[in-house]
Amino acid sequence: MPSHPIHDRPIPAILAVVLRGPDILLVRRANPPDAGLWGFPGGKIESGESLQQAALRELKEETGVSAEALRVFTAVDVFDRDEAGSLRRHFILVAMLCRWTAGTPIAGDDALEARWVEAETLADGDLPLSRDVAEVAAQAAALMREMPA
């Protein structure tokens, strides 16, 4: 079986989906893919890093917020394409449900802004969101309502 360069394979990445009561934490991305759009803090998983560690590291780097990583609850594909439509990179984003423990969001690392948004308002279209953000947020909010406090 031939060996493929890393860019020819999907890149595993993590999303820290953090809830604080009815609010969910979002960041406005500074870099492609999805520069300027709102989504969850996250990024590439480092070698030897667990999903929980990756989620909490990315969360801290991008927002300064601390949380408890509870569980993985979904995954989504992101296809980064060039102007001609050719695939540059394929990310697999693993969503980690997190419960806020401390901190006020301050944009850091590759985030332009970071703030709490009422989860139920995301489907209204007031913010320019990355693909699947409203759906993932709704799943996370439903799961959090089922969990003990």
Q: In a structure prediction context, what are the per-residue pLDDT tens digits for the chain, which is 149 residues long?
A: 444 444 689 999 999 999 999 999 999 999 877 889 999 999 999 999 999 999 999 999 999 999 999 999 999 999 988 899 999 999 999 999 999 999 999 999 789 999 999 998 998 988 999 999 999 999 999 999 998 87
Structure tokens at 88: 């540059």
pLDDT of residue 121: 92
pTM (two decimals): 0.92
What stretches of the chain adopt beta strand conformation (E)? 11-20, 23-29, 38-39, 42-44, 66-81, 87-102, 111-118
- Tell me which residue of 12, 42, 45 sits closest to 27, measured CA to CA: 42
Domain coordinates of the chain in residue numbers? Answer: 6-146
- Tell me which residue of 61, 145, 52 sits closest to 103, measured CA to CA: 61
pLDDT of residue 136: 97
- Tell me which residue of 88, 73, 84, 68 sits closest to 14, measured CA to CA: 73
**Domain spanning 6-146 has what CATH number?**
3.90.79.10
